[in-house]
Amino acid sequence: MPPAVRLRPPAPSRSTSADRTAPVTGAADGIGRTCALRLAAAGAEVRAADR
């Protein structure tokens, strides 16, 4: 029988939404607006654009 394999949990990510800028297109409504709002709520700096 092969030896048991031990899996490590993934290392925590060093980057968070707080140190990222998220460009979002189509941010006036629908999916773009929802993405922009959720990214902002997570702490990202959001650059929103729409025509």
pLDDT at 30 over 90: yes
Calpha distance 36→26 (Å, rounded): 9
Reported in sequence order, the residue ranges of the chain that DSSP labels E, i.e. its strands, are 21-25, 45-49
Of 14 and 29, more confident:
29
User: What would you report as the CA-atom Rg of the chain, rounded to the nearest whole angstrom?
Assistant: 18
Calpha distance 46→20 (Å, rounded): 9
pLDDT of residue 20: 82
pLDDT at 22 over 70: yes
- Reference 43, options 27, 11, 19; nearest CA is 19
